[in-house]
Amino acid sequence: MTTTVERPAAAPPPPSGPSPASRVGTTLLRWWRSLTAMRTALVLLFLLAVASVPGSLLPQRSLSQSQVTRYFADHPDLAPVLDRFYLFDVFSSPWFAAIYLLLFLSLIGCVVPRAVEHARAVFAAPPPAPRHLHRLPDHRSLDSGLDGTATLDVVEEELRVRRFRVVRREGRYGPELSAEKGLLKETGNVVFHLALLALLLGLAGGKLWGYEGSILVTEGDRFCNTFQQYDNYSSGALVDAGEMSPLCVTLDDFKAEYEENLTAASFTADIQYGLAGSASRGTTIGVNSPLRFDGDRVYVTGHGYAPVFSVTFPNGDSFTDISAPFLPAETQTMSSEGALKLPDVPGSDEQLALQGLFAPTGSVQGGVLTSVDPRPLDPQVAVFVYEGYLGLDSGLPQNVYSLDQTQIDRGNLTRVGEANLKVGESTTLADGTVITFSGVKQFAAMQVSHDPGQVWVLVSAIAILVGLLGMLLLRRERVFARATAGPDGAGTVLVVGALTRGSADTAPRFTALTDDVAAALTRRARTEENPRT
């Protein structure tokens, strides 16, 4: 006797999991779908607006290094912490660039597929009428004494008068009609988002290939468009200094006009401009009327005074008509502070410097000079004369509009004289040096800007407004109609339904349409019954 033992079948191997490559692909696809969602784009746009707030509240190095330095001096504990998070360089910080880049990618993922889909919808026919027209938000049944074809002819005529696209079909439930209009509403939506994308591109291009520099120019002085001549400048990462336009500007005259309450009414500057080595042309520019030349714009952003001095040394050598801009300390009266540095004194190893206060309309009260009017009606200057070592060759950065206080504190600079002077008056130092206040010139604060994305940004902004108007003012409407035989086989029953997007109250428009259709059907039926009438 033979016994056969059946062995149990081997268990099937467990299904293998997805490969690492497929898991990475699935994760990336899920991440891309989340990034390109419209909700994500709105969140990123909100984050970009919030991230720009510190740039408007805190001083930025790209605009004014001196204000940043002053903030560090005023807040020695807080400023280093803020600087660690790039809050003094907000618009060039890594986290701001990350938000900007993610918003850019999100908009591309949102807008491009939507634009392609809309382009297909523009050239596609309206969809067939749904089976149950009475389930649409707006619907109505009308009795017609015409046959189905003639009834739909009347409906088509009324819809075409209202600029609908109309398609006639022979449907499963009888002859039907589909019509739509308002595709420009979706076109406005697409244009709005594409223009927003173009605006971001224009801003990014302006930052990468743009630059700007500011300089104080005294009447009679000249400057050229090079970074070496600017007091402050900023440039994009892709700017080539060798490709900057060789524009040169000479300030001939500056005029400031004031209201009766002594507030500034207008600033105008008469300038000569042209390419280096070529003939110059004259023009007048103002605060809101810049010079536009070869993609560059030259603005007047402010003004001030530059006192003029003459210095005669004991050996007979002299410096005549030397000046330095004094920066306004009070905008209401234009009281200004500044310094004039003379590192090369003839016949002496010592250096000379003047530091003081200039008053366009001076008034001495209690021995202190103040200004009572921003206009140069009675120019006066209070000067403190220092002698010694200025520290200009120490290799350390130094403010050209003031003396280095550390040199004074160390005793390297010693005060050797002081005086309040009117135009034409002089003061004599102990060594016989004579310092004369010769007069005053005005200076203009000028800014040269180059932004290749400016026109692109303007066109994009206009397109955004046009697209927004299309989104708000237009309606997307679809109308369907079907003609069926009456219940007793006599006459025709016309069922009309409508679906409207972008408007909450659509009943009056639909009622007006169906009333016109009913009246047109009545007129057509009477005409066929009584052709002579």
Q: Tens of pLDDT along 386-398?
A: 999 888 877 777 7
Q: Is the pLDDT of residue 89 over 60?
A: yes
What tokens does 145 get?
């004494």
Handedness of CA 209, 213, 219, 220 (dihedral sign): negative
Residues 6+ apart with CB under 8 A from 493: 141, 142, 143, 144, 483, 484, 485, 486, 487
Q: Choose the weakest-confidence range: 61-65, 74-78, 282-286.
A: 61-65
pLDDT of 349: 81
| Predicted confidence band of residue 13 (pLDDT cuts 50, 70, 90) | low
Distances 307 to 171, 336, 531 between C-alpha atoms, Å: 92, 10, 100
pLDDT value at residue 505: 67
* Torsion on CA atoms 460, 463, 464, 467, rounded to nearest 10: -160
Mean pLDDT of 108-115: 85
Q: What is the pLDDT of residue 306?
A: 94
pLDDT at site 264: 82
Query: What is the average pLDDT across 25-53?
Result: 84
**CB neighbour list of residue 82: distance below 8 Å, 6 or more residues apart:** 58, 88
Residue 203: per-residue pLDDT: 85
pLDDT at 491 over 80: no
What DSSP string describes 374-427?
SS-SB-EEEEEEEEE---TTSSS---TTS--HHHHHTTSEEEEEEEEEETT-EE
What type of residue sits at position 215? I
Alpha carbons within 13 angstroms on the beta-carbon side of residue 118 total 19
The DSSP letter of residue 146 is S
pLDDT mean over 423-448: 92
According to the model, what pLDDT value does residue 367 have? Answer: 81
**% pLDDT > 90, the chain:** 33
Beta strand extents in 150-275 (DSSP E only): 165-171, 174-181, 211-218, 222-224, 232-235, 247-258, 264-275
Q: What is the per-residue pLDDT for 262?
A: 83
**Average pLDDT value for residue range 203-221:** 89
Q: What pLDDT score does 366 carry?
A: 81
Has this prediction a pTM greater than 0.85? no
Does 288 or 378 have the greater pLDDT score?
378
Q: pLDDT class for 438, splitting at 50, 70, 90?
A: very high
The arithmetic mean of pLDDT across residues 460-467, rounded, is 93
Q: Which of 2-6, 93-97, 404-408, 433-437 has the lowest mean pLDDT?
A: 2-6
| Residue 214, CB-side half-sphere exposure with 13 Å CA sphere | 13
Three-state SS for 124? coil
- Is the pLDDT at 212 greater than 60? The verdict is yes
DSSP three-state, residue 434: strand
pLDDT beyond 70 at 7: no
Predicted confidence at residue 40, as pLDDT, reads 86
Tokens, residue 235: 């440039």
Model confidence at 201, in pLDDT bands (50, 70, 90)? confident
pLDDT category, 107, cuts 50, 70, 90? confident
Q: Measuring CA to CA, which residue among 303, 222, 308 is closest to residue 255?
A: 303
**Share of residues in the chain with pLDDT > 70 (%):** 93
Residues 48, 53, 57: CA angle, nearest 5 degrees: 160
- Name the residue with tokens 């003839």: 346
- How high does pLDDT run on average in the chain? 86
